Structure 1
Amino acid sequence: MQEVARVAGVSISTVSRILNGTARVSREKRQAVQDAIAQLNFEPNRLAQSLKRGRTMTVGVLTQDIGSSYFNETLQGVDKALANTGYAPLIVSGHWDTQDESDRIRLLIARRVDGIIILYGTLEPEQILAYTEQVPIVVTGRRIEAERACAIDLDHEAAGYAATRHLLDLNHRRIAHIKGPEEHRDAVQRFAGYRRALSEAGVDYDQRLVVNGDFREPSGLLAVMELLRRGVSFTAIFAANDQMAYGARLALYRHNIRIPEDISLIGFDDLPSSSYTTPPLTTMRQPLFDMGQTAAESLLSIIDQKRVESMRVKAELVVRETTRRLT
């Protein structure tokens, strides 16, 4: 830094203030310092800068499954928002287990992260709010309001309704549903949307058309096997996520059941692979990348002591080639 100050013809303190963004100097002095930095290939000591600010310039990210394409989409949004900010993400997995999630959050706090992003999970709002006394938090997949926390949520009930309504509008009345896990709030809400759409259309709810899954591909395959074993008639399937829809598609293929000629199929999430299934999957699009990006941007604002409001986003119906009208 001393050499930069010498070449630029300014004091060391001026260089330091310019690097920290706190200097009020003329455009000419600022340009001289920038030119000197470029000439000398000077790299500021980020660690020293962060310690001076009382920050570690790290953001903790609690995901649930680092191998999931669903969470990878959201993580890409987080990474995009943190690029060129000086902040680096520290990613840990909670494995959809309340104890693991709590342990990982305490680990991140012990590492002195400046804030934490929680991607869904099983922690109760009261538990999350308790952690905000130590570190600001942004969470996706639930509703939270606090001074040092905000949430980015999706209206899953409305999205489940829209998915089922799409099939109803195509004249389907025997609509099977592959549910997500009972402990997942979003899965419960999507199922509620399915029930509401049927009720409003005057279609009786048939419990035999509903099979539990776990949001993974094998459970979608097994769910269709169970539906076929039951011998119950259906003309369409609403899978509570795309991954289970992929498994359902494979089970139907193995039984020579054509999509959409024999059975219509709709998923949920719009993962990148859904555009490339055979045929391409009709689905409800969650703005996963945008939610991750917004979560990171919101957290940085809270770190800078700005007030951030929670928000609720909507899913969008993406019609491709796995649904058709019954004649």
Structure 2
Amino acid sequence: MVPAKMGFRMPAEWEPRERTFMAWPVRTEIWPDGLKEAQEGYARIAREIAAFEEVVMLVQPHLADEAGRMCGAAVEILPMEHDDSWLRDNGPTFLINGQGELAAVNWQFNAWGGKYQPYDQDNAVAGKLLARYGVPVFEAPLVLEGGSIHVDGEGTLMTTEQCLLNKNRNPQLGKREIERLLGQYLAVDVIFWLKQGLAADETDGHVDNVACFVRPGVIAIQACHDPADLNYSASQENLKLLADFTDAQGRRAEVVQIEQPPVRYWRGQRLSMSYLNYYPVNGGIIVPVFGGDAQATDEAAVRTLQRLYPDRKIVPVDGMPIIKGGGNVHCITQQMPAGIPARL
């Protein structure tokens, strides 16, 4: 049996949750400025989230004491071997049913199409984490990262063709087969396909850098209005696609644009900076900001998010230490909904 037939669905990120999972930075080749800066960035974000809800940091056992000191007493340290620190992508996708019972999907993980080696320990993290918390697991025959999908909790999923149809993930599957599997494992009836993600995004266009559901019927999208910018054509195309969006409940979308930050490079590489890589928590929104020449767009993004989430506290955090590794706040977190483990 698949989850959808058993009454499970993937809840939206704004629904109540039990805790946040993160994983401590360890892969030295993606942090050329040193692990210390990355770890300080992760610890700072973990502490901000811990002001709203429980945070569990997965840490390689030999680094547990150091991570504990840096994160502080409010963050629980869970010793566990892993290869990398982007738990959104290799962690489990949690499900919930009408009785408030939890289960989860364990996707296959291949490090964004084999871009980093090794990744076998990261591929094993979801199963170990679910066993630790007694959550039953559905093993999915699909390579998929959590950052490549967004759902509204009411039957609609949003993704990009650039990522999910990339042949470095599931070369044996076509679009219809992938849609069928997403429907079976996440209980989604409508899959809305955007085209491209951000320029220079090594995840091959994860949707969590591009657009997200704010609530059912409302979508935020990062926009580019400079015709000379590499993101311009993709941004305009995605906006045109969203103009025809209809969700699983028959709603047309209200689309809210958030202007992208100024282009910035690091060690000769463009950074895929995004305000859409924010993370909802119980009562708050943790949003990356970038400072310097991005101050005006930082402030505009915060104002827009406060308007979109009037009942939540908007917490800006320095996104620069994290974006140097290729992602941001949403990429390094994974939410566990509130509920009790199901008995399957």
TM-score (norm 2): 0.26
More strand by share: 2
- Larger Rg, first or second structure (1 or 2): 1
TM-score (norm 1): 0.27
More helix by share: 1
Q: Larger relative contact order (C-alpha < 8 A, sep ≥ 6)?
A: 2
